[in-house]
């Protein structure tokens, strides 16, 4: 099979546990991929990653793609049509005028910004979540950290990598909307709130304005720079990759998830389920009120999105599965981890109507939606509980979905948001029908999986890179609908009456256990 390297598109995404890169052809098929596993560290009371590990991971993922292209197609990967980078949204990455990092990267997982988030929310009358970049910045100023007067530039992880590749300090509008509120009409930071924030800075003896240190906002398809000689070496230290390749606006993982599931139209949405879980619902208009449980962000082309973001999802499940795996090892049986996950997930569908009266709380870190400052994974049962594998796994999965349900209920019950379809993607949906059905029951709405649902955010970023080259032809919405997804098969599951009743009953018990979770965070240090 022949490929034209000028008609291939490279997408890179730095997720919470995996850095992945994919190369797609002009039919939007993945022709090569690479990945690198990494983990955040809890250091000095904060969740962080080393940026050196990000560079190492990107280079390893790219090298795997390069080797595949040479082995499968007999070509040296020295060029592509366009490149795009996405990463975990939000967080704090400040630099001085020499480009030196001033503080450890503070990720979306940190919840140390409650004072700043509350003050800014009240000031703006707009929800500023704990993990947003502006909350981290303002908390650093409140805490009088020594570096705050030296900040010359701050950005997200995707914005940082893009800066290393191109020298451009820009950010896609979806990712930018996780730094600071964005106006969907001007497709830029909300001017009135920028003025309010700058007024607050003057009261703190800060000399710079917000716009001076934030990246420029770009929408999908806009010019975002080209790969420099330094950037080419950053990706490919061998020196084979040529400079001059166009690079599209960097985006957040929420935006790439929407692109990868064709859910950027109004009344559609998606649920991305992995280490964290979040839903994205595209709105016709602004919400009538603001809620601390709901972020208002934007699609990569600027539409308003209601985002329910939960910090915790599969970490607790993964640890329990690892323990089961270890048990088999002790008995001398080697089990395939993927098959173990599949069997355990499938068993959850056999749980009884009360889920054995078992309740989990899977919080590894704090959870703003439920006002939990520090996570302590809990498993609670009574002497009369029915502890079986089926009930145990259903309790685990229901607990992982419960926080998302709490946030989504606000949109549906209070704002009367119309949802035509929810698309699911992420590792949670790998076991056929199980995650999809349980999410449909939890949200009481149909859930759709595309037959490429496992492609993920790196593929979504590669699509944005392709759109960057073709954006003169059509809108992003039309590009996805008419070019990318026109022949993609959909698998749809509707909620079941019994499943909805079981989940709602579980959530009632879950609310009670949250009181124990708060107490555990205070007592177990």
**Structural domains of the chain, with CATH:** 5-261+456-484 (3.30.420.40), 315-451+495-523 (3.30.420.40)
| Residue bearing tokens 């209601």 | 306
Which pLDDT score is estimated for 85? 98
Task: Collapse the DSSP code of 4 into the 3-class scheme (helix H, G, I; strand E, B; otherwise coil) and give the result.
Answer: coil
- Mean pLDDT score across all residues of the chain: 94
Q: What are phi and psi of 293, to 5 degrees?
A: -85, -10
pTM for the full predicted model: 0.84
What was the pLDDT predicted at 455? 66
CA distance 431 to 512: 30
Gap between the Cα atoms of 202 and 148, Å rounded: 13
Please give the pLDDT value at position 311.
Answer: 87
Distance of alpha carbon 87 from alpha carbon 251, whole angstroms: 7
Alpha helix (H) ranges present in 285-424?
315-330, 337-347, 389-409
Q: Which residues does 363 contact at the CB level (< 8 Å), separation at least 6?
A: 311, 312, 316, 372, 375, 376, 377, 378, 517
Q: How far apart are CA 263 and CA 303, in angstroms?
A: 11
- Bridge-based pairing of strands 9-14 and 82-87 is parallel
φ/ψ (deg, to 5) at 368: -60, -35
Ranges of the chain with pLDDT below 70: 1, 452-455
- Please report the pLDDT score of residue 109 as a whole number: 85
């Amino acid at each position: 099979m022949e490929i034209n390297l000028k008609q291939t598109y490279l997408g890179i995404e730095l997720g919470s546990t995996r850095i992945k890169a994919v190369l797609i052809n002009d039919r939007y098929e993945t022709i090569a991929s690479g990945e690198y596993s990494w983990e955040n560290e809890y250091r000095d009371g904060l969740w962080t990653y080393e940026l050196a590990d990000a560079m190492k991971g990107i280079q390893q993922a790219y090298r795997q793609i390069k080797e595949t292209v040479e082995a499968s197609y007999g070509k040296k990967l020295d060029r592509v049509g366009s490149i795009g980078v996405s990463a975990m949204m939000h967080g704090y990455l400040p630099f001085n005028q020499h480009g030196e990092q001033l503080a450890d990267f503070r990720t979306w997982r940190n919840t140390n910004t409650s004072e700043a988030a509350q003050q800014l929310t009240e000031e703006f009358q707009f929800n500023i979540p704990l993990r947003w970049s502006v909350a981290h910045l303002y908390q650093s100023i409140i805490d009088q950290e020594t570096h705050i007067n030296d900040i010359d530039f701050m950005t997200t992880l995707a914005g940082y990598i893009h800066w290393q590749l191109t020298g451009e300090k820009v950010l896609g509008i979806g990712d930018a909307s996780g730094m600071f509120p964005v106006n969907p009409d001007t497709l830029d930071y909300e001017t009135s709130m920028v003025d309010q924030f700058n007024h607050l800075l003057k009261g703190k003896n800060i000399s710079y304005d917000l716009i001076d240190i934030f990246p420029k906002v770009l929408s999908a398809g806009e010019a975002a720079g080209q790969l420099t000689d330094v950037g080419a070496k950053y990706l490919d230290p061998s020196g084979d990759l040529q400079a001059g390749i166009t690079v599209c606006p960097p985006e957040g993982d929420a935006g790439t998830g929407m692109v990868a599931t064709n859910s950027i139209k109004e009344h559609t949405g998606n649920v991305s389920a992995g280490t964290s879980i979040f839903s994205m619902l595209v709105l016709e208009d602004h919400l009538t009120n603001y809620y601390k449980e709901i972020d208002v962000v934007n699609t990569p082309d600027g539409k308003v999105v209601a985002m329910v973001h939960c910090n915790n999802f599969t970490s607790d499940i993964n640890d329990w599965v690892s323990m089961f795996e270890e048990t088999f090892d002790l008995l001398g049986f080697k089990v395939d981890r993927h098959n173990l996950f599949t069997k355990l997930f499938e068993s959850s569908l056999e749980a009884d109507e009360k889920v054995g009266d078992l309740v989990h709380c899977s919080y590894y870190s704090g959870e703003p939606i439920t006002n939990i400052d520090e996570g302590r994974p809990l498993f609670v049962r009574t002497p009369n509980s029915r502890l079986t594998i089926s009930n145990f796994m259903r309790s685990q999965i229901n607990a992982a979905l419960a926080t998302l349900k709490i946030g989504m209920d606000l949109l549906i019950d209070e704002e009367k948001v119309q949802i035509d379809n929810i698309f699911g993607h992420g590792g949670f949906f790998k076991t056929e029908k199980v995650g999809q059905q349980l999410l449909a029951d939890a949200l009481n709405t149909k859930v759709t999986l595309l037959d490429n649902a496992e492609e993920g955010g790196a593929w979504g970023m590669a699509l944005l890179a392709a759109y960057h080259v073709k954006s003169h032809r059509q809108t992003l919405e039309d590009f996805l609908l008419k070019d990318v997804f026109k022949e993609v098969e959909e698998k749809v599951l509707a909620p079941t009456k019994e499943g909805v009743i079981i989940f709602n009953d579980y959530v009632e018990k879950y609310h009670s256990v949250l009181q124990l979770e708060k107490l555990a965070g205070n007592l177990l240090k």
